[in-house]
């Protein structure tokens, strides 16, 4: 079985790093994984995306046309990827920056105030990790504990000061969706982000 995750936003929002957290965590659990980054030539401020495919068997291609899960960090990404989510999939979106109307009844929407939570932590750069923590808590794709350990294990030496803020962001992302009543077992929609 395989699960595909598309993460998208502006360059500088940590899109590629969010994908790496998921990819390294899957590798640490000895799962099969691909990580496929894409970004515009302007990098910071331009568009960026990363596709991660996680499975328990060999993955045929890193290219995904209709992902199971999407994390949209900004409004342009929401608009671009909402139509592409596989029916029955989920769209996690940064409600601090996105106020788009929900256009589909066959997917679930999960609103996460990622920038607001990152600001509370003290570093807006960890909004990406807030979203990854929320995804982990809602889907059960990877455990929060594994993701937290992954940040410790794989953070580049020059960025070691970001370990604790990223770990806190993962925990806070998981906490907020739990507080809003999301359940992995029941699969109920968040009260703040109903499917319409």
pLDDT tens-digit series, residues 30-82: 999 999 999 766 556 677 999 999 999 999 999 999 999 999 999 999 999 99
Residue 185 lies inside a defined structural domain of this protein: no
Please name which of 89, 86, 98, 87 lies closest in space to residue 8, comparing C-alpha atoms: 98
Residue 52 lies inside a defined structural domain of this protein: yes
CA angle at 104 for the pair 188 and 71, rounded to the nearest 5°? 70
Residue 115 lies inside a defined structural domain of this protein: yes
Helices (H), 29-88: 75-81
If one counts the domains in the chain, the total is 1
Residue 196 lies inside a defined structural domain of this protein: no
Could you tell me the pLDDT band of residue 182, with boundaries at 50, 70 and 90? low
Residue 186 lies inside a defined structural domain of this protein: no
**Which pTM was predicted?**
0.89
Task: Return the CA Rg of the chain.
Answer: 15
Q: Which domain holds residue 38?
A: 2-179
Residue 191 lies inside a defined structural domain of this protein: no
pLDDT of 187 higher than 90: no
Looking at residue 11, what is its pLDDT? 85
Report CA-CA distances (Å) from 45 to 10, 41, 49, 155, 174: 5, 10, 12, 23, 27
Number of residues in the chain = 196
Residue 68 lies inside a defined structural domain of this protein: yes
Identify the CATH number of the domain in which residue 152 sits: 3.40.920.10
Residue 63 lies inside a defined structural domain of this protein: yes
Around Cβ 110, how many Cβ atoms within 10 Å?
24
Instruction: Tell me the HSE value of 72 on the side-chain side, using a 13 A CA sphere.
Output: 26
pLDDT of 16 higher than 70: yes
Rounded Cα distance, 196 and 51, in Å: 26
What is the C-alpha end-to-end distance of the chain, expressed in Å? Answer: 29
Adjacency order of strands within the sheet including 32-39: 32-39, 47-55, 2-10, 69-72, 90-94, 108-112
């Amino acid at each position: 079985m395989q699960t595909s995750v598309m993460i998208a936003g502006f360059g500088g929002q940590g899109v590629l790093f969010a994908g790496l957290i998921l990819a390294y965590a899957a590798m640490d659990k000895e799962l099969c994984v691909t990580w496929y980054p894409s970004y515009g030539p302007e990098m910071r401020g331009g568009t960026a995306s990363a596709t991660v495919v996680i499975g328990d068997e060999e993955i045929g291609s890193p290219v995904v046309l209709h992902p199971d899960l999407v994390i949209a960090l900004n409004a342009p990404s929401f608009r671009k990827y909402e139509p592409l989510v596989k029916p029955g999939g989920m769209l996690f979106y940064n409600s601090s920056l996105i106020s788009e109307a929900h256009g589909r009844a066959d997917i679930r929407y999960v609103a996460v105030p990622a920038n607001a939570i990152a600001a509370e932590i003290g570093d807006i750069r960890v909004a990406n990790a807030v979203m990854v923590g929320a995804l982990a808590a809602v889907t059960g794709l990877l455990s929060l504990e594994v993701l937290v350990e992954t940040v410790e294990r794989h953070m580049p030496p020059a960025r070691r000061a970001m370990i604790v803020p990223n770990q806190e962001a993962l925990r806070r992302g998981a906490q907020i969706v739990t507080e809003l009543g999301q359940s992995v077992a029941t699969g109920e929609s968040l009260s703040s982000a109903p499917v319409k």
